[in-house]
Structure 1
């Protein structure tokens, strides 16, 4: 599995590398989207590492830093749905993406999975960064307001994984956190899988699709 991820990440890096602009050109942004359990985080990290190894000034920007805090989700009745599209600060995320395009230095929040909180001011996109790979579930969601992100992407990539495989991975994820098998299935089925189905059913066209271990045109 690791060899396959590395192979695909190398192929993605080869497709992205020609987009990396020169020092005086506007910064570019690549979206890597897909349902929960698709392996976006690992694929994005490996792709960025492959680009950096080629000497490109590229960084990763996860969307997870824009999770709403539990103190806001609970009174809205959204805490059990944490991770769904409506549990993110979309306006803040979109505004930050526009700043990434236009401003030399941008400070970012980072999501701490151990504590399940977003930490403000925890990362920076520096002036020398020429391309940013953004990773998240809903970057290509064809619903308002998310579809409004489309003009920001210079290239969009979607990781397409069958629902049966997503279910297996998501249950395994909760098992790895120490949940009993029944509790792990309940956790995956109550939130993760509905979010995955939503992403798969309402995704906008991507420039590239990763499916069955290969790259395909969107």
Structure 2
């Protein structure tokens, strides 16, 4: 990493593939010169989703503040040496949390992760072009779905609700994410 610069590494993949786990592990390994920036904090608030009629598709590309995410990625690259904050996400209430993520002034590597880092066009593309690289994670669908169901249940959905949500919302999103895998700089098969 060059002195005086910040580099953004993107990690992308379908829901349940392990993006957050890998991103957080990389940040821990690098230490204080790295920061973690999850895309989840850019979910639109529940009230806004209800007003837009998209609450039942929360997690789809249109249910995120893509412009806000791209603006933050721009700021990360344009402001090396400056501390920044970003919204976090509270899965227990499925709401973004203002200033829930801190990027310290010492951070030279910012690892960001989310489903839609490789979507072409618009604000997703604007964010992508500021990233030094984007790694796509792949995992056997059966294993990924098991992890995803377990996560939904752990955060309060019944097994039936978790299965319905995964089938109706997560799997179409997973297919969309996987359709752009060829745009990744590196594809990593995880187990």
Q: Fold match, TM over 0.5?
A: yes
Alignment match, 2:97:
119
Secondary structure (helix, strand or coil) at the match of 2:29 reads helix
1:80 is aligned to 2:38 = no
Q: Does 37-46 or 146-155 show the bigger shift?
A: 146-155
User: Which stretch shifts more, 173-182 or 135-144?
Assistant: 173-182
**Deviation beyond 4 Å, 4+ runs, structure 1:** none
* Among 132, 145, 154, the residue aligned to 2:132: 154
Say whether residues 1:31 and 2:10 are aligned partners. Answer: yes
In the TM superposition, residue 177 of structure 1 has moved relative to its aligned partner by 3.6
Q: In the TM superposition, what is the alpha-carbon distance from 1:115 to its structure 2 partner? A: 1.9
- For 1:1-218, list aligned pairs within 5 A: 20-22=1-3, 25-52=4-31, 57-103=33-79, 104-142=82-120, 144-213=122-191
Shift of 1:126: 2.2
Contact 2:89/2:100, CA 8 A, preserved across alignment: no
| Alpha-carbon contact 1:140-1:204 (below 8 Å) kept | no
Partner Cα distance (1:163, 1:145) in 2: 28
For structure 1, the 5+ residue unaligned runs are 1-19, 214-218
Aligned-residue Cα RMSD (Å) equals 1.8
Higher RCO (C-alpha under 8 Å, 6+ residues apart): 2
Bigger Rg over Cα: 1
Compared CA separation, residues 177 and 121, structure 1 to 2 (3 A): closer
